[in-house]
Structure 1
Amino acid sequence: MTDAPLLDVENLWVRFRTRSGVFDAVRGVSFTLGKERLGIVGESGSGKSMTGRAILRLIRPPGMIEADKLEMHGEDILSAPESRMRQLRGGRVSMIMQDPKFSLNPVMTVGQQLVEALRAHEKVSRGEARRRALAMLDEVAIRDPERVYELYPHEVSGGMGQRIMIAMMLLPSPEILIADEPTSALDVSVQLQVLDIIDKLVRDRGMGLMFISHDLNLVAKFCDRIVIMYAGRIVETCKADELRNARHPYTLGLLNSVPDLEHPRERLEVLKRDPEWREAPSVSARQ
């Protein structure tokens, strides 16, 4: 961690107005992110992805974002005008979505999309943008970048599509990368390749990584710190190598529900829903 965090979030709430009242999707979340790999873990609906989208201010009405502090390198991004947010998104902070099929434009070639992503944030010629795009495709371990550059999204595999998304998000050299379950749609062997690429790029560029996942074991091996979310709140935070010392019943339930091939059990533990967890005070992941 550096003295000045890349990202500082304090008491973040994401609310949606509905016919039956206001629903709180994210409830008082606080954390900081430095030049590290921060894992955000929780089941579906726990508020992980909503937190990532709120940081980029991608929550649209009837959604509302509230926070005591939402700063990137000391800059207040909660009150920043939309014109400034367009500069920050992709420029200083990028987000890799879960499935490239829904993130890549089906009527534009891979090369066109890479060039567009770069030129949206930097004043470079098309020739220079093409050169850097090809170099980035090579950096994410895509064979024959020249050929892939001319392909359309439907002509590439899921693993290659995810690598293209990583290349696109990292072309403008952001300081923060938010990866929203970037490997969940991939098979195991391709998952490891993609994780190796993300790990190398984050380390080489000195970036901060916010890695969102429901796979507790994966995050424990890949990240430096772990934040556990339940029902929109942070219920526990710890260093990755101290996960086995977790104390919150929800974290323990997640750990005990993971299959153990060396010591198989006939039945996996079922998490019992406790309404008190939802009302428990939030835990800060700030340092």
Structure 2
Amino acid sequence: MTDQGPLLDVENLWVRFRSRAGMFEAVRGVSFTLGRERLGIVGESGSGKSMTGRALLRLIRPPGFVEADRMSLHGEDILQASETRMRQLRGGRISMIMQDPKFSLNPVMTVGQQMVEALRAHEKVTKAQARTRAIEMLDEVAIREPERVYDLYPHEVSGGMGQRIMIAMMLLPNPEILIADEPTSALDVSVQLQVLDIMDKLVRDRGMGLIFISHDLNLVAKFCDRIVIMYAGRIVETCKASELRQAKHPYTLGLLNSVPDLEHPRERLDVLARDPAWREAPSVSARQ
């Protein structure tokens, strides 16, 4: 595998859904690249964040469909790839942690059974080898007593542990890209920090690319290298995390002004006003 060029290159991505009322556009002309970095995608509910992540794995099902001028994974065209090839790529080279990952686990299979199945779908290893790898990965994501947790069922683990189990499962085949969709939304602050520390270490040690999808602008600004702001299915602004406070778009400024500031508390937070012109404004590219 060469290090030349971006891991992911997306140009003019659209996600549309056919309905009796007409065509609904959930993602509209999104363009960005991803290197070996942490890219944050921020926006309110319905802005197209999660839909963009699912489109990258070709998980949009009819009546929805995906169109793009380019959608390539390290140079490979994933838009035109066969479904057989996509099954190899999903989890193998690009993985996604869904929202509420604990509930994405199969309730009638143990943690270990699911991890072994996920690994053996992408690598030719014995069950014994897969078990060893799975326990090592559970230990790597800071789960105590990984041999015991390996034999537990999903309902027997906490939300924070379920989150780490899903991270471990997605990283077992050593993918190049990890998409994390609201990975800390259901966790308390202390567990959030643990999960972020684990993800940060894994990305740095493995040289991966991470797409971090979240509503929490402050969290993304502290954790990610670059930030993409989405509104009504479009990218309205992109910037380095360190330059977020110099943002220009009124929607980004509105998001910033509606976030509580513990160091400088205000009696009232700003209400995020919307301008109809934002929806039809030209999409801003986040391609480097």
What pairs with 1:231-250 in structure 2 (closer than 5 Å)? 231-250=232-251
Distance 1:245 1:3 in 2: 31
What pairs with 1:121-160 in structure 2 (closer than 5 Å)? 121-160=122-161
TM-score of the two chains, using structure 2 as the length reference = 0.98
Aligned to 2:279: 278
1:83 pairs with 2:93: no
SS in 2 for 1:196: helix
1:227 pairs with 2:228: yes
Distance 2:112 2:194 in 1: 22
Superposed CA RMSD in Å reads: 0.7
SS in 2 for 1:179: strand
SS in 1 for 2:5: coil
SS in 2 for 1:217: helix
Alpha-carbon deviation of 1:3?
4.3
Distance 2:236 2:247 in 1: 11
Aligned to 1:175: 176
Deviations 1:15-43 (A, max 9, x none): 00111100000000000000000000000
Distance 1:189 1:97 in 2: 21
Deviations 1:54-81 (A, max 9, x none): 0000000000100000000110000100
Distance 2:31 2:166 in 1: 28
1:5 pairs with 2:18: no
Alpha-carbon deviation of 1:216?
0.4
In structure 1, list runs of 5 or more residues that go unmatched.
Answer: none
Distance 2:236 2:4 in 1: 25
Aligned to 1:259: 260
Deviations 1:205-255 (A, max 9, x none): 000000000100000000000000000000000000000000000000000
Distance 2:261 2:137 in 1: 39
Distance 1:23 1:102 in 2: 28
Aligned to 2:207: 206
Aligned to 1:215: 216
1:46 pairs with 2:47: yes
1:34 pairs with 2:25: no
Distance 1:138 1:23 in 2: 44
Aligned to 1:55: 56
Q: Match of 2:56, as an amino acid?
A: I
Q: Match of 2:142, as an amino acid?
A: A
TM-score of the two chains, using structure 1 as the length reference = 0.99
Distance 2:136 2:152 in 1: 16
Alpha-carbon deviation of 1:144?
0.2
Q: List structure 1 runs of 4+ shifted beyond 2 angstroms.
A: none
1:97 pairs with 2:94: no
